[in-house]
Amino acid sequence: MDPDSLDWIWQDLATADSTNEPKADVDNDDDDFDFDFCRSGDEGRGSDDDDVSSDSSAGYTWTAATDTNTMRELRELVDGVEKELKSMSFVNDLDAGDGSATLVDSEHLEEADRESDDTRFYVDAVDAVRRKISQVRLVWADAVHRCTTDGKNVPDSFVKTTNIEKIVLLYASNFIEQFKMKYPNRRQLSLVLENECGVQKCVCTAIKPSRLVYHDLDDLISYSEFVANYITYIKLDDPTNVPKKIMSPLTTLENQTANCFELAILLASFLIGYGYNAFVVQGYATESVCNNDLSKIKLDMSKYDSKPKPDESDDVEDVNDIYAVDFEIDMCSEFVNLLIEEEKKKSIVVDEVKENNIDRSSDLLYGRRVHCWVMIIPLEVEDEKTTNNPYFIEPSVGERKEISDDSYIGIEFIWNHKNYWINLQSLNNGCTEYKIDLTNKKCWEQFLPDETQYLQRSTLERRHYENESSRNVIMPNSWVSVLEVPRNKYLMLYPMGKKMTRYMNALKESYAEYILPDGLIERITFYAEPEYKNKMFVKEFYRHRVDKLISLEIRFSVDKNEIVEYFSSGRKDCLKTHTFSGEINSLDSDRSFVFYNLRLDSMIKLEIDHISFTTTFSDRSDLLFWCMSEFEKLENMDGQVINSKRKPKLIIEKYLRDESKHKDRDIATIHYDFALNNIFVQYQFGEGQITQSKRLFIKPTVANSKDFDPESVTEHIVYPYEGHLEPHESYTLLQEMLNAEIEAVRAISKLEDEVIEILENRSRERSECKLKINSLDWDRNYKTRKLLQIKKDKKLAVVERENAENIDYALPYLESGKIPYKYDKVSKIRDKVVSKFRQNTINQFIRVKNSFLKKESKMRSITMALEKDNLNVELKNEMLKLGSSMKNELEVLTLKLQRYKEIRAERYNNLVMYLNSKPEFKMLPPLKLLDSNGT
């Protein structure tokens, strides 16, 4: 087989598809349509990959209690629909009627083998899956909309009005009429709006104080970020008017789409349930806030770029350098500096006013755009760190905003789950001038009477108050059910598992955990030019990686791109950061390693260029803190990137002062010069000295006492009266230097071997992309527990076999050592490794693809079953829950297929570079790399 050819992929696909599923794959627990909702956590679905990442990103365990008859009806209904689908023969076709290539049919693959290569296969497969998932989204959205807006499939409280609600609605209609007469020029009150079923409800009763039972939702920021990530924001159809119909928070969580009113009501429900004094605010905001347009915001790259700025590094060097020149004294007075700062502030204020004027002139609807957000009025019991000043929360981004923020122009009304208030203050002065004191009747008019103020009145005042208004009118309980988010949806975090945010100079991609096979959860790409051209910097964040990779930085330049990898503690090599540019696995490339202070040799940093190693140590017992070694440069052999051992040309070591030794015996610097065949030693500075004592040792060809030449040791002692070395002392010291040189060469050789091993490990880790699962993660560790049990059984079997008979473990090595490496044998070994890697890559893609097809057919059957009219409410609700879970799994599988296609060429190139760098394959021609398109 030609290792450079790509025809193998079609042969592997034909072989894999002829059996419908690779035999080496782990059993797929998700392929069977499971209706057993009462499974325990240990029996939940596991992952479908060879690694620990899950196809669905989160195995969800159903706990809904349904009777046997309902389950039987559901099973019979779906089975009947499946038979109809099979008779229509579109279950096995990925793109029925559009002429695209299918994913499973081996006949199509054999035809494609004659027409295209593997790249076209991956591209066509992912494009077909995208079309399928878009159809599923549209059909499922329509099905959910029909079920949520149909009065037969929602709780009774959505379509019925209780007596207390009727009284409040009558009282509200009277209040609205009085408000129109009293304030004819004000905006109409949004006190009563229709819900998704077309029934009029008071907006205060749409707030349902609830609390989610997830451990990472423990404060205001976490809830705000969750709502902003979980719900897709949609702007109002009419930006200047309040929508006539508002979805309930329950429907908002189900659809995962909301406008500003629905989003604010949902966030207020969570915050009030958690204990915050939250209010929904209706007012006016700028165009960028109302449309959730972040493209006018410039993201600060310095927050993500961990590279120190030149000024910062210069300051550090000046502080540490004892010979640095002192800073110049600033002769300017403090008063002059104060005047300069005031002028700068004035210019900044003028610029801000100009920008605001530009915004107002560019937006024809400035000051008229309706927006809804959340306001927090802190209480003393909330948090000791918080102040008593109110502040805003923007639900669309989940960020805290101050009342002085210019993005919020004015407030019309605010409400919570108990009452509704009207702002009587001027709307032209901005939110900064408002007095946020809801008990002040000159500033705020409330809808329902305050019960505390009623109790404080006298008896005569109470009777008069009762005659004028009905004190029994209180806000009824919310008609919305308790808000809950299923665990499978919560772990998805974003709609469809992915979120894209566009800034002025950057694109931010966010993914849920375990969604992508390489553990990527966030990527931020900065651009130097508008319209997202000319990449400048990329920051990637990873989680749950086996290789402990937590983040990656790429700095683009004209010459070379610099890549920085950051690792968490726990690696065997104690690697903390890895910075390199040029070839990934070559010793000739400039690179730098930073280690955690956990190594036995106390090395904390290693810098490498094409000819030298520079090492920094910390707290060594021999007081060595710096070492540099230069090597003889080797030529590239046939263009291969071979990391061969090199001979050192020069080794320099630096030591700290040892107070227990005499200054002329305490070594400061040693130069082992192999080109000049000598050893040059500099000793530490003495007290009050400005020069150092030195000795030059010329290495003899044969080091023994008979051939020793005293003139081979040249001394330069600062104080001659200290005395020079005697011949026997010079000989002894020369022997010590020669032994130290041998140890230094041995240490450098060992360090070079370790660097080569680190590079090989990183190349292998980049191609594998394995993830790990916490043993306490009950949603994903089913397969892990199963594998651990299998491993335990194998160990027990090995122990039993060892006890039964004596085994010679050295025999296989002795037998293999007798056979020398030959060209044809080495070629077969490398071809086998490449073929195995390719087959595993194909198997992963095929398994995810087949799982997508099966789940997509089940999704179609569920959608068609929902269209039947003979379903009762309970059965239809179960179908909705099951379909929602299935849709999430299809979204995850789509992202996985896309990611497999993107990183396929990168993983293959990492394997090729790893094999090309192995000494065993030097005699073979090097394997060729694939480009970014996989060709």
CA distance 464 to 471: 11
Q: Name the least confident of 19-28, 523-532, 595-604, 652-661.
A: 19-28
Mean of pLDDT values over 241-245: 90
The answer on pLDDT for 95 being more than 70 is no
DSSP state of 558: S
455, burial (CB in 10 Å: exposed 0-12, middle 13-18, buried 19+)? exposed
> Of 640, 783, 786, 824, which is closest to residue 51 (Cα–Cα)?
783
| Residue 338 β-bridge partners | none
- Comparing 48 with 892, the larger pLDDT belongs to 892
Q: Does the pTM exceed 0.85?
A: no
What pLDDT score was predicted for residue 694? 86
Q: Name the least confident of 89-98, 329-338, 684-693.
A: 89-98
Mean of pLDDT values over 362-389: 77
The answer on pLDDT for 661 being more than 50 is yes
Q: How confident is the model at residue 205 (pLDDT cuts 50, 70, 90)?
A: very high
Residue with tokens 């049990």: 789
- Comparing 879 with 349, the larger pLDDT belongs to 879
Give one word for 696, left, alpha or beta, with left for phi > 0 and alpha for psi -120 to 50: beta
Mean of pLDDT values over 837-851: 85
Q: Which helix (H) or strand (E) holds 755?
A: helix 727-768
What pLDDT score was predicted for residue 28? 37
Q: How confident is the model at residue 278 (pLDDT cuts 50, 70, 90)?
A: very high
What pLDDT score was predicted for residue 706? 57
The answer on pLDDT for 415 being more than 90 is yes
- Comparing 706 with 624, the larger pLDDT belongs to 624
Strands 232-233 and 420-423 turn out to be unpaired
- Comparing 292 with 335, the larger pLDDT belongs to 292
Q: At CA 792, angle to CA 791 and CA 798, rounded to 5?
A: 90
What pLDDT score was predicted for residue 576? 94
What pLDDT score was predicted for residue 93? 39
CA distance 176 to 153: 32
Distances (CA, A) of 740 to 737, 744, 745, 749: 5, 6, 9, 14
For 89, other C-beta atoms within 10 Å of its C-beta total 9
Mean of pLDDT values over 210-224: 90
What pLDDT score was predicted for residue 148? 60
Mean of pLDDT values over 778-796: 78
Q: At CA 531, angle to CA 355 and CA 551, rounded to 5?
A: 100
- Comparing 47 with 135, the larger pLDDT belongs to 135
Encoded tokens for 887: 């849709």
Residue with tokens 């600033």: 330
> What percent of the chain lies above the pLDDT cut of 70?
71
Q: Name the least confident of 74-83, 266-275, 584-593.
A: 74-83
846-849-853-855 Cα dihedral, nearest 10 degrees: 120
What pLDDT score was predicted for residue 683? 87
Q: Which helix (H) or strand (E) holds 167?
A: helix 163-182
Mean pLDDT of the chain: 76
Which amino acid is present at 103?
A: L
Asked if residues 577 and 593 have their Cβ atoms less than 8 Å apart, the reply is yes
Mean of pLDDT values over 396-406: 90
Q: How confident is the model at residue 221 (pLDDT cuts 50, 70, 90)?
A: very high
Q: How confident is the model at residue 137 (pLDDT cuts 50, 70, 90)?
A: low
Strand ranges (DSSP E) for 206-361? 232-233, 257-258, 278-285
Name the CA radius of gyration of the chain, rounded: 37
What per-residue string of b and e applies to 250-269 under the rule 16 or more CB within 10 Å gives b? bbbbbbebbbbbbbbbbbbb
Q: How confident is the model at residue 118 (pLDDT cuts 50, 70, 90)?
A: low
> What percent of the chain lies above the pLDDT cut of 90?
23
Strands 678-683 and 694-698 turn out to be antiparallel
823-866 vs 118-149: helix crossing angle, rounded to 10: 20
The answer on pLDDT for 82 being more than 70 is no
The answer on pLDDT for 321 being more than 50 is no
